[in-house]
Amino acid sequence: MMSMNVCTYEPDSPHMIEMLPRVVNLVVYYMALHYYQPMFTLIGGGFKKLEQASREMGSVLPKGVHWIRDSAVKFDPDNKRVHTGSGDQISYEYMVIAMGVALNFHLVPGLVEALEKDPMVCSNYSPKYVSKTSKAIHAFKEGNAIFTFPNTPVKCAGAPQKIAYLTDWHFRREGKRERAVVMYNTSLPVIFGVKKYAASLMDVVKEKGIQLNVRRNLVEVRSDKKEAVFENLDNPSEKITYQYEMLHATPPMSTPEVLRTCEKLVDQGGFLDINRNTLQHKKYPNIFGVGDCTNLPTAKTVAAISEQLRVLKKNLFLQMEGKALKPLYDGYSSCPLLVGFDKCILAEFDFDGEPLETFPFNQGKPMRFPFHLKRDFMPHLYWLALLTGYWDGPGRYRKLMHLGMGR
Ligand code: UQ1
């Protein structure tokens, strides 16, 4: 049995590695590569290559961190232990759980088979299928290009529609847009959960002639007939079948099984049950959480994680020193919504869906500057500053940009 001070654990499908370079001394994790997943939209869109989004895991872990190439198979929070796949037990004093979410392609009958066999079925969500997307866009001739959003919480809630906009852009350039129906079928009742940006996105949808169907959930793919079956979530007995020429699927997501089945740690939805302002577990004060596996009621993005890291660093140390925690997290999250090749709406908002914009201009308007921020600047910010512990969100810059006024 090993004994360590702080243990953070990353299983097979992290959104980002969410670690605390100066605090963590143990990482339980077994993936060989680490992916910068915000780049996956650009890879699917044909503007970047998968190799540009990955690094060797060993090269991004901070020096001094002990890397256990293993997986957690059971949490035992009462005895402060984690059981691993190889039969070890790790005891801890404090634990940060940052597991990300699992991609459950297998929960949609026929989807895995379609992704494996049909070159026109793709998903930007998986490194296995993301490179298929741009090939499918170029191979498309005519018919329905269908994009889906599942009936579960997802990471990067903008990604399922961003690829629809990039596809529309390619179709126009290749002169085949009139022969295509670009259809976005979402389980949500709205295009986006934050009012201000939903209004801008509705203008984009109208302008591009995209068919938006709300409350539609993908329940089956029949690749032999090129059919995608959706249920109407307002009337689940009603099934709607569409013929597809191209299908971009966003899989249902959940926390990984080891966490989801640990009732002591999770809420009813299976997400790590933490205080939304301090990031401390609601029952176990020596456990904290960040990122996609938590039940923080905000959008699951790396931008959100960057702000959560600041709060986590502060509160974990306060807890270790026996002091009162600070309710610092306001739900900040951000989603750079690409609405074409060179235009972006930079959504930034809090728990209440109120805009928290960094720059002193209206970020609800599609603009070129945030596109460059997303394509050219963010990857460097991630590799060089976030993973090394220097970037903890744009909060302080927002105050500067607004000359100390506002939040
Ligand atoms: C951000 O901090 C971040 O993490 C590095 C992202 O992920 C790639 C983002 O997309 C965004 C928008 C932010 C927020 C930063 C600024 C400068 C607005």
Q: What is the CATH number of the domain that holds 264?
A: 3.50.50.60
Are 39 and 90 members of one domain?
Answer: yes
Which region among 37-46, 90-99, 178-187 has the lowest average model confidence (pLDDT)? Answer: 90-99
Distance 394 CA to ligand 1 centre (A): 7
Are 94 and 164 members of one domain?
Answer: no
Distance 348 CA to ligand 1 centre (A): 9
Give residue 14's domain range.
5-101+255-331
Are 240 and 117 members of one domain?
Answer: yes
Give the pLDDT of residue 257: 95
122 is catalytic: no
At a CB cut-off of 8 Å and minimum separation 6, what does 25 contact?
A: 4, 5, 6, 64, 65, 66
Whole-prediction pTM value? 0.93
Site residues for ligand 1, CB cut-off 6 Å: 38, 302-303, 306, 334, 336, 358, 378, 381-382, 386, 391, 393-394
7 is catalytic: no
Q: How far apart (Å, rounded) are the C-alpha atoms in residues 101 and 82? A: 19
At a CB cut-off of 8 Å and minimum separation 6, what does 136 contact?
A: 119, 120, 121, 122, 246, 248
Q: Which of 358, 381, 388, 398 for mutating ligand 1's site (highest number of atoms within 8 Å of CB)?
A: 381
pLDDT band at residue 17 using 50, 70 and 90 as cut-offs: very low
The average pLDDT across 40-68 equals 92
Last residue of one domain, picked from the residues 222, 252, 282: 252
Element (H, E) at 208: helix 195-208
Are 27 and 75 members of one domain?
Answer: yes
Are 266 and 241 members of one domain?
Answer: no
Is residue 351 included in any domain, yes or no? no
Give the pLDDT of residue 26: 66
Is residue 25 included in any domain, yes or no? yes
Which residue's CA is minimally distant from atom 13 of ligand 1?
303
CA-to-CA separations, 4 to 24, 26, 317, in angstroms, rounded? 9, 7, 16
Burial of 125-151, coded b for 16+ CB within 10 Å and e otherwise, reads: bbeebbbbbbebbeebeebbbbbbbbb
Is residue 405 included in any domain, yes or no? no
Distance 185 CA to ligand 1 centre (A): 27
Which region among 72-76, 162-166, 243-247 has the lowest average model confidence (pLDDT)? Answer: 72-76
pLDDT band at residue 62 using 50, 70 and 90 as cut-offs: confident
Number of domains in the chain: 2
The strand pairing partners of 347, in sequence order, are 335
- Residue 307 CA: which ligand 1 atom is closest? 2
pLDDT at 4 over 80: no
Q: How buried is 201 (Cβ within 10 angstroms: 0-12 exposed, 13-18 middle, 19+ buried)?
A: buried
Is residue 388 included in any domain, yes or no? no
Are 169 and 35 members of one domain?
Answer: no
CB-based contact 224:217 (threshold 8 Å): no
Are 136 and 270 members of one domain?
Answer: no
Sheet (strand 239-243) strand order: 216-222, 227-232, 239-243
Round the average pLDDT of the chain to a whole number and report it: 92
What is the tens place of the pLDDT at every residue in 232-260?
Answer: 999 999 999 999 999 999 999 999 999 99
Q: Record the tokens describing residue 299, joined without a space.
A: 């959008």
Distance 333 CA to ligand 1 centre (A): 9
Q: Which residue matches tokens 């959480």?
A: 289
What is the tens place of the pLDDT at every residue in 87-117?
Answer: 989 999 999 999 999 999 999 999 999 999 9
At a CB cut-off of 8 Å and minimum separation 6, what does 176 contact?
A: 140, 141, 142
Give the pLDDT of residue 3: 39
